[in-house]
């Protein structure tokens, strides 16, 4: 029984280390960007433009690589009007 307990504790230790890694890495990346761009006095007033540009690119990357795959996996509700299959009959571009 002690062998199983030791194995479970090892798995728990690796799992908590992985979760900590997943929390620490984005936090350090944001901290690095803040110190390198947003609080860099050498950039002068241009730092606001650079900060906005970096935030815009990061937002776009999150939308493309995080939100879009989740949206592709999760099916829409049957009662929602989302998607071309639900709204295709409402659009009449060419009336002949």
pLDDT tens track for 47-60: 889 889 988 998 99
Domain range for 45 is 2-73
Asked whether residue 34 is assigned to any structural domain, the reply reads: yes
The reply to whether 95 falls in a domain is: no
Query: What pLDDT does 42 receive?
Result: 87
Average pLDDT (49-78) is 86
Question: Is 87 inside any structural domain?
Answer: no
pLDDT of 85 strictly over 60: no
65 within a domain of the structure (yes/no): yes
Does residue 94 lie in a domain region? no
Instruction: Indicate the number of domains in the chain.
Output: 1
Tokens of 32: 């690095």
Among the listed residues 60, 58, 33, the one whose alpha carbon sits nearest the alpha carbon of residue 47? 33
Whole-angstrom distance, CA of residue 65 vs CA of residue 58? 10
Dihedral angle over CA of 26, 29, 31, 37, nearest 10: -140
pLDDT in tens, 28-49: 988 998 888 888 888 888 888 9
The answer as to whether 90 is a domain residue is no
Q: What is the pTM of this model?
A: 0.56
- Domain contains 83: no
Q: What is the pLDDT of residue 82?
A: 59
Question: Is the residue at 19 inside a domain?
Answer: yes
């Amino acid at each position: 029984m002690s062998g199983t307990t030791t194995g479970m504790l090892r798995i728990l230790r690796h799992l908590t280390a992985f979760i900590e890694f997943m929390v620490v890495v984005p936090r350090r990346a944001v901290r690095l960007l803040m110190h390198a761009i947003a609080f860099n006095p050498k950039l002068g007033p241009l730092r606001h433009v650079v900060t906005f540009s970096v935030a815009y690119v990061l937002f776009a990357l999150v939308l493309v690589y995080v939100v879009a795959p989740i949206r592709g996996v999760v099916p829409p509700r049957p009662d929602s009007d989302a998607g071309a299959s639900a709204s295709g009959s409402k659009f009449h571009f060419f009336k002949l």
